[in-house]
Structure formats: C-alpha cells, structure tokens
Amino acid sequence: MLNTLVAFSNEYGSDPELVLAGGGNTSAKDSDTLYIKGSGTTLGTITADGFVKMDRKKLSFMMEKDYPESDKEREAAALADMMDAKYPGQESKRPSVETLLHALFSTKFVLHLHPAAVNGLTCAVDGKNRTMKLFPEAVWVEICKPGYILAKLCAERMDEYRAVYGKEARLLFLQNHGVFFAADTREELAQMLDDVTEKISAELADYPDFSDSDVSVDNALCQKIAKLYSDTAAAVHDVSKQSVGFSESEESVAPLMKPFTPDHIVYCKANPLYVESERNLETDFADYKEKYGYAPKIVVVKGKGFFAVSDNEKQALTAQLLFRDAMKIAVYSRSFGGYLPMTDEMTDFIVNWEVEAYRAKQAQ
C-alpha cells in the first residue's frame, strides 16, 4: 500500500500541469492507519519517510469533539490533537493540514490536486453550476475557512451526498481550492483524473499564451525591484505574451489583484503591486509595505509584464510559477462565467494562519 502511495504521488507530483511547488497531497489507509503527506514536502520527490503515520481512531474522535469558537483557539486546539494522533516515532513530522479531509473518505487512496484547469472551474462565477452539470455525482463544497472548519463542512456535504445517493462520495470539488479523488486502486485514480481533465478541457474556449512577447527582459529594473525588497533579494522578469497582456492596464490586471487559492497566498503573497509608471515604483513600493506590513512578491509594471521577487532566486522563480498559474486560472475561468477570487475574509484568515505560515517557511 505504501509503495503504491509513493509511486502515484511521485507520478502526479512530477507533472507541472497537476502540481506546483509543495502543492497537493496524497494518502493511503487501512482499517487502523492513515498515511498522509507531511506538510511542506514535495509530491514529486516524496519517499515513504515523507508520509506521516496517523491513528484513524484519534482522527475520527476529532470530528466529534467540540472545539472553541474562536478561530485562533480552535485551530490551535485541533492542531494539537492532530499532532497527538501521530503514531510514536513520528515526532519530527507534521501532517498535512488536510489530513482530516483525507480521513473522511472510505477508500484506500486519496489524491488531492490544484490543477489550473480544474481551478479555472472552481474559481469561476458559475463554477458550482457548471461543476454539477459536468460531474453530477460529485460533491461541491463552498468556500470556507481551511482547517477544522473545512473538514466539518466537507463531512456535512458528504453525509448529504450519502443520503441522496446511498453510497460514499469519491469526487469532491472545493471552491477556490482544487479537487479530491478517492479510489481503492491506483488505476481507478488515474481513470477519475483522466475523466475530469477531459471533460473540463472540452469546455475551455480560451487558453493562456506564454510564448515570448516583444518586450525585453529589463535586468536593471529587476535589480532595482530586488533592492527595494531587500539587500540580498532576487527578482525575475516575466515578459511572456500572457504576462504583458495582463499588465496593459489596471482593468486588464484586475483578475490577478486578489488570490484565487491558498497556494497563491503562500508563494506569491495575497496581493500583487500594480505600478502605472516606473517613475512611481519607489513610492508605490513604499505605500504597499506601509499598507500590508511586508514587501510585495509580485510587481506588475504597466506594459512590461511582471516581476517576481523574493529572498533568493529559487523563491522568486517559485513565485513566478505560481503567478503564471493564477494567469492560467483567470483565462480558463472565462469559459465558466468569469473569474471569482477568494473572499477578503478567507484571504485574511489564511494570511494570519499559523499552518500556512509553517508551510511557507518549509518551502524556503
């Protein structure tokens, strides 16, 4: 079982159309034990040691427990209980924040992904209606605070599904997040993934274009933006056609000014900085830092594409990758009623959530 889990985790985790950076998670279970991806690990390279061995009885008990109503107190208490649900010898590991969601499914294997094409649907105005038309036996879960509250909401929706269909849910879409596949074999997972991918692809009327534009990479501006971020930062300039197209005006870049999913917050920060003119760069950068309390990781300059900046080149390239993912979602969402970013309430929760702060630190 564990060998199969590692094998399909590596397979899907190595496909950039399905998994970026530390995104996505997988699990396997028997009657007593759940093996779940450790927080901050990478699916493409994970080994058996990267999974956390969890006691299913203790996880089940958590779903029946009454936790404090306060977000901070509730999540701290739930995290403590989840850490306590680890088997001995797992002390240095931290299970995925979505462990409880994996435990809800009755199947042996669970695969959770955030593909841009899927999120073009889950992050769209008409996402729910279109999802239920394409996948009538799927479960749709509306946007919700992650962590324990999300697990409880998913359990409620899955109970409703069971009451209607008389069977367990195996396909679940999370608004502004991604998709869960549940199956008893690796082959079933592959078939489910292919089915979802093919049906969504058939609905897409527009595709992003990341071929080279006529705009040249501006190394001097890269250095300037990096210096504004910190004395040792690195910046990369994205001049693809899609990037330049979104940067043409405030109206053009509007779909990207708020995050679509938690991953975009973790790797790109919640909001990019849009600069109308290079002459305003220093002032706009300073105003952003004063408003948010940190420097922007994405700087969009009118007509020049965007700059991804972070503490080092690796992190800057990751931010670039995830901001391109946001562009893909914005384009794909046009086929499903237009873009729908995360709510400000959800964004603020994740920005201040210890669990995502931990995941971001692990990604450094």
Residue with tokens 């940190």: 294
pLDDT at 22: 84
How many Cβ atoms are within 10 Å of 356's Cβ, its own excluded? 20
Query: For each successive 10 residues of the chain (364 residues), what is the average pLDDT?
Result: 96 94 94 94 95 97 94 92 94 92 97 97 98 97 93 97 96 98 98 98 97 97 97 97 97 98 94 96 97 96 98 96 98 98 94 58 50
φ and ψ at residue 123, rounded to 5 degrees:
-110, 35
Percent of the chain as helix, strand, coil, to the nearest 5? 50, 15, 35
Q: What is the CATH number of domain 219-362?
A: 3.40.225.10
- Asked if residue 137 lies in contact with residue 171, where contact means CB atoms within 8 angstroms, the answer is yes
Dihedral of the alpha carbons of 97, 37, 86, 83, in degrees to the nearest 10? -30
pLDDT at 324: 98
pLDDT at 186: 97
* Token couple for 255: 């779909």
pLDDT at 359: 47
CA–CA distance, 77 with 100 (Å, rounded to integer): 14
User: Which CATH superfamily hosts domain 2-202?
Assistant: Class II aldolase/adducin N-terminal domain (3.40.225.10)
**Is 279 strand, coil or helix?**
helix
**In 10 A of CB 158, how many CB atoms?**
19
The residues of the chain that CATH labels 3.40.225.10 are 2-202, 219-362
Supply the DSSP string of 160-212, one letter for each residue.
HHHHHHSS---EEEETTTEEEEEESSHHHHHHHHHHHHHHHHHH-------SB
Beta bridge partners of 212: 240
Give the per-residue pLDDT at 353: 76
